[in-house]
Amino acid sequence: MTGKVFGVTAEIPKTGVAFLLTQLGTQAATKFAERVGALGLTPPQVGMLRMIATRPGLSQQTLAGNLGMLPSKVVTFVDDLEGRGLVTRTRSTRDRRVHELTLTEEGTELLDKIRAVAAEHEAGFCQALDTDERARLQALLERLTESHGLAPGVHPGYRTIR
């Protein structure tokens, strides 16, 4: 196979599915980070807000475990989100060691914006495909994620990312 790269005709290695996924996954993650960055958030923080919305009152330890983040990192992020009035820490009455996390009204509103941004991201990223093609692509990708035992909706990289 031959093609133009860097202005020079060069041998292009036949790119397989795995490498295409690596390329597109990085691209998708970067673009999503840009979009939520406009809301003052990082992708891991978005994951936290979603998790808190899904399971209000959960502890920081549980949150860290579910998202694969370090507990010390969770402290920093919650400090930030709490300082911006998006999340509240409440000492549990049953175990005064734990801080129960919940979204404020403002946090809930921001999550709505996040959902809108995510929808824009999805639409923008798949622009080149028509509805039918997207559906077929989605079905194939779901098959792959299941075969790799990836948890639905959980980014596998929160343990190392920002």
Contact of residue 75 among DNA, a copy of itself, none (CB under 5-8 Å per partner type): DNA
Q: Name the E strands within the chain.
A: 2-5, 8-11, 87-91, 99-103
Tell me which of 22, 61, 138, 145 binds DNA, using CB under 7 A: 61
Tell me which of 71, 85, 124, 156 binds DNA, using CB under 7 A: 71
From CA 110, how far away is CA 52, in angstroms rounded? 13
3-state class (DSSP) for residue 1: coil
Task: Report, in Å, the least distance between residue 74 CB and a copy of itself.
Answer: 16
Asked whether position 116 contacts a copy of itself by CB under 8 A, the answer is no
Tell me which of 29, 53, 66, 73 binds DNA, using CB under 7 A: 73
**In which residue are the tokens 């941004």 written?**
117
Contact set with a copy of itself (CB under 8 A): 3, 5-6, 8, 10-13, 15-30, 32, 50, 54-55, 66, 118, 121-122, 125-129, 133-134, 136-138, 140-148, 150-157
